[in-house]
């Protein structure tokens, strides 16, 4: 049997539930239905004037020499000025920018926009004293402390491009990034807190610096206060150096000046330095943040529960929300410290109205059970968001019911480090949502689904997600590697951005993301996406989380192997295994029935919470494991390899 011609991925899963917005939400929403009617040019021109203050106006909207785009040409602006100073100048200095909650219970700070301005200036003056100026590359290796956004903003104020390296990365990963960018200064901290334990950031940074000779100076925040080694002449304490609060003028930057590099930590070995510039990026993140999160800056308490080390943190903890004058929550630690209700306690304490998190976190809460959320008053919540992976419909519905009290719209936002801003998402108040669908391209975004040959796949069919027009926050390249930029994103189809994700568009025009294309399986000639089989498994009442991978099979080409985490208290058994296989057959069809199911307490994930199906394929095939450097917890696969061997089940 072979799949239909013209369709790169077969799609089998059907989700029928619909969630229209309430009339009250629609009436007050920032986005009105006619937003979809505005022409691309006028939309991005108007938003640029509305969201951002320009020192000098731009003279042309954009220039497109594929694969390179420029936006807001001739415009001059400063990102830190837009995110901080202008709110203070407008008399909003007393508004809280961040409610910060440390991991140790009771450790709290509220930082107003006026205080943020003062701290950013002090940090910028300290960096100046270390020789940082316009164009000096700065590394930032910190935990979730307010000084992380402060450091980013201080760099932006001086026109010094930064690269933030997630605090969970090793010395080698840190050194690679510092070397690739040629960083001269590193901002770090003594230690971070994670699940009650100190994480030795400074010691790891020292190890990295031994292999990163371009770094001349460090600025070190004291967080835990435990003693750490300091190298004379190179290392400086933040609290000693960042004391000068005298004015430090924000550097006027060109729209296309480099704002930051962020290295993608995907599944391949050498990370790519994704280039983001100033004007288009700021307009893109502020505009999407305003409409997708329906932000009312005077009333909302917004919480993006990502880490600043990922693009979600850059765009939707720091630059987007601050540009819009939002009040945000920032939390330092893990969701289960000291207990599994920590998030819900935080929401109750600050009256959080908007929560943005990832499917992996939602599934963890599902696994723990709804009793933790039920202990707290979550009635202030009015909007929920999801990002990072396709969300399984059952996780969506759980989120809607147990966290959103069945009243909050959910925005399932598709985007990437490379796209800089959300590109596909519902607009709350307009979109009728469907669990598992990211629904519509954002206004001004031209997304489509292509077949292998580059033809548009019709409604219902699966294929590859592409973008056909540039957008303001798009990547401006891979740092120092033009060829890799062209090969990775622009070589599959002419002048068209290839996202590397599978997708289908249904008969209403809504997009369903099907996962990374390398994860597609081929069973008896059917190209089946991993997410559909996983969602069918998670649909079963006993399943908290599932990941599937393919192994070679003499008969069917590939056979599906499922790795399943059951909900707390449920035991794996041969009967349970049969029940789950039959459940998949009922939900999708017998073709998608897993040949093997392996029960496991944990799935292998990257540090940003994405399931690493590549490693599961190695386990399924009984192969030696490929690169495991991006794995959050290496012991998980070792255990899976044992179980895979022990519990193999075949038809």
- Specify the residue, 86 or 272, whose C-beta has the smaller distance to ligand WTA: 272
- Say how many residues touch ligand WTA, by CB under 6 A: 22
Q: Does 390 bind ligand WTA (CB under 6 A)?
A: yes
* Cβ partners under 8 Å of residue 520, min gap 6: 9, 502, 514, 527, 528, 529, 530
Site track for ligand WTA across 437-456, x = CB under 6 A: -x------------------
Q: Please, are residues 8 and 451 in contact by the beta-carbon 8 Å criterion?
A: yes
Stretch that binds ligand WTA, among 88-96, 396-404, 408-416, 443-451 (CB under 6 A): 408-416
Tokens at 177, concatenated: 């990034």
Question: 């925040």: which residue's tokens?
Answer: 221
**Binding flag, residue 15, ligand WTA (CB under 6 A):** no
Please report whether residue 387 would count as binding ligand WTA according to CB under 6 A: yes
User: Do the Cβ atoms of 381 and 404 come closer than 8 Å?
Assistant: yes
Q: Would you say 17 or 46 has its CB closer to ligand WTA? A: 17
Of the two residues 184 and 501, which places its CB atom closer to ligand WTA in the complex? 501
Per the omega criterion (within 30 degrees of 0), is the bond before 67 cis? yes
Determine which residue in the list 414, 464, 497, 511 makes contact with ligand WTA, applying CB under 6 A: 414
**At its nearest, how many Å lie between ligand WTA and the CB of residue 467?**
12
Rounded-to-5 percentages of helix, strand, coil across the chain: 30, 25, 45
DSSP SS3 for 563: strand
- Residue 486 DSSP one-character state: I
Q: How far is the CB of 646 from ligand WTA (least distance, A)?
A: 31
At closest approach, how far in Å is the CB of 325 from ligand WTA? 23
Q: Closer CB to ligand WTA, residue 322 or residue 611?
A: 611
> Which of helix, strand or coil describes residue 327?
coil
**Subset of 596-625 contacting ligand WTA (CB under 6 A):** 608
Judging by beta carbons within 10 Å of its beta carbon (0-12, 13-18, 19+), is residue 438 exposed, middle or buried? buried
| 415 counts as binding ligand WTA under rule CB under 6 A | yes
Taking CB under 6 A as the criterion, the residue among 388, 409, 426, 444 binding ligand WTA is: 388
Q: Is 263 in the site for ligand WTA (CB under 6 A)?
A: no
Q: Does 534 bind ligand WTA (CB under 6 A)?
A: no
Find the binding residues for ligand WTA in span 421-440 (CB under 6 A): 438
Contact 538, 546 (CB under 8 A): yes
582 C-beta neighbours (distance < 10 Å), count: 13
Q: Which is nearer to ligand WTA, 82 or 437 (CB)?
A: 437
Contacting residue, 413, 529, 535, 630, with ligand WTA by CB under 6 A: 413
Chain positions 507 to 526 lying near ligand WTA, rule: CB under 6 A, are 513, 516
User: 305-344: which residues touch ligand WTA (CB under 6 A)?
Assistant: 310-312
Give the C-alpha separation, 10 to 592, whole Å: 11
Q: Which one of residues 136, 417, 437, 439 is an interface residue with ligand WTA (CB under 6 A)?
A: 417
Q: Which helix (H) or strand (E) holds 320?
A: helix 320-323
Closest to 70 (Cα-Cα) out of 272, 290, 254, 316: 254
Please report how many Cα atoms fall inside a 13 Å half-sphere around the Cα of residue 381, on the Cβ side.
Answer: 29
CB of 126 to ligand WTA, least distance (A): 31
Name the one range near ligand WTA by CB under 6 A: 26-34, 294-302, 348-356, 388-396: 388-396
Is the distance from CB of 467 to CB of 445 less than 8 angstroms? yes
Contact flags string 490-509 toward ligand WTA, x per CB under 6 A: ---------xxx--------
Residues pairing with 550 in the sheet: 560
Report the run of H or E that residue 411 belongs to, with start and end: strand 410-412
| 630 binds ligand WTA per the rule CB under 6 A | no
Q: Report the distance separating Cα 523 and Cα 165, nearest Å.
A: 39
Contact positions vs ligand WTA (CB under 6 A): 264, 310-312, 386-390, 412-417, 438, 499-501, 513, 516, 608
């Amino acid at each position: 049997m072979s799949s239909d011609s013209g369709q790169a991925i077969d799609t089998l899963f059907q989700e029928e539930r619909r969630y229209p917005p309430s009339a009250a939400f629609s009436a007050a929403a920032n986005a009105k239905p006619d937003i979809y009617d505005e022409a691309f040019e006028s939309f991005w021109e108007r938003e640029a004037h509305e969201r951002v203050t320009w020192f000098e106006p731009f003279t042309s909207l954009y220039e497109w020499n594929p694969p390179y785009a420029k936006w807001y040409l001739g415009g001059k602006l400063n990102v830190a000025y837009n995110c901080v100073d202008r709110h203070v100048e407008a008399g909003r200095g007393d508004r809280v920018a961040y409610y910060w909650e440390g991991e140790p219970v009771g450790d709290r700070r509220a930082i107003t926009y006026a205080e943020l301005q003062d701290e950013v200036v002090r940090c910028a003056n300290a960096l100046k004293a270390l020789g940082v100026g316009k164009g000096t590359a700065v590394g930032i290796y910190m935990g979730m402390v307010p000084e992380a956004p402060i450091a980013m903003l201080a760099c932006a104020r001086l026109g010094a491009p930064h690269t933030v390296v997630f605090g969970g990365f090793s010395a080698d990963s840190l050194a690679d990034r510092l070397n690739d960018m040629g960083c001269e200064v590193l901002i770090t901290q003594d230690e971070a807190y994670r699940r009650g334990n100190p994480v030795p950031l400074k010691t790891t940074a020292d190890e990295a610096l031994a292999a990163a000779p371009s770094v001349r100076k460090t600025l070190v925040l004291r967080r835990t206060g435990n003693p750490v080694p300091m190298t004379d002449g190179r290392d400086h304490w933040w609290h000693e150096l960042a004391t000068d609060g005298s004015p430090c003028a924000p550097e006027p930057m060109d729209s296309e000046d480099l704002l930051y590099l962020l290295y993608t930590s995907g599944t391949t070995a050498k990370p790519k330095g994704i280039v983001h510039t100033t004007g288009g990026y700021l307009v893109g993140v502020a505009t999407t943040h305003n409409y997708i999160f329906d932000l009312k800056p005077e009333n909302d308490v917004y919480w993006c529960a990502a880490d600043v080390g990922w693009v979600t943190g850059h765009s939707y903890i720091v630059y987007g929300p601050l540009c819009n004058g939002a009040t945000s929550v920032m939390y330092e630690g893990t969701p289960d410290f000291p207990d599994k209700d920590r998030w819900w306690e935080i929401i109750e304490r600050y009256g959080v109205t908007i929560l943005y998190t990832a499917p992996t976190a939602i599934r963890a809460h599902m696994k723990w059970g709804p009793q933790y959320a039920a202990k707290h008053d979550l009635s202030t919540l009015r909007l929920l968001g999801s990002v990072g992976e396709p969300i399984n419909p059952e996780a969506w519905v759980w989120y809607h019911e147990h966290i959103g009290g069945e009243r909050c719209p959910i925005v399932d936002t598709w985007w990437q480090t490379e796209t800089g801003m959300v590109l596909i998402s519902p607009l709350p108040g307009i979109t009728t949502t469907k669990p598992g669908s990211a629904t519509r391209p954002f206004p001004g975004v031209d997304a489509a689904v292509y077949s292998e040959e580059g033809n548009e796949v019709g409604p219902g069919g699966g294929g590859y997600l592409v973008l056909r027009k540039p957008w303001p926050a798009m990547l401006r390249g891979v740092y120092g590697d033009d060829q890799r930029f062209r090969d990775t994103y622009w070589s599959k189809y002419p002048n068209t951005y290839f996202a590397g994700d599978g997708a289908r568009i249904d008969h209403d025009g809504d997009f369903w993301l099907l996962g990374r294309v390398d994860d597609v399986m081929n069973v008896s000639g059917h190209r089946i996406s991993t997410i559909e089989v996983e969602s069918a498994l998670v649909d079963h009442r006993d399943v908290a989380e599932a990941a599937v991978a393919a192994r070679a099979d003499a008969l069917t080409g590939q056979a599906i192997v499922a790795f399943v985490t059951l909900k707390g208290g449920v035991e794996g058994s041969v009967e349970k295994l049969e029940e789950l296989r039959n459940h998949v057959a009922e939900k999708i069809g017998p073709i998608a029935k897993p040949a093997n199911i392996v029960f496991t307490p944990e799935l292998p994930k990257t540090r940003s919470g994405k399931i690493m199906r590549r490693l599961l394929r190695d386990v399924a095939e009984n192969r030696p494991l490929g690169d495991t450097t991006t794995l959050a917890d290496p012991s998980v696969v070792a255990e899976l390899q044992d179980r895979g061997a022990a519990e193999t089940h075949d038809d």
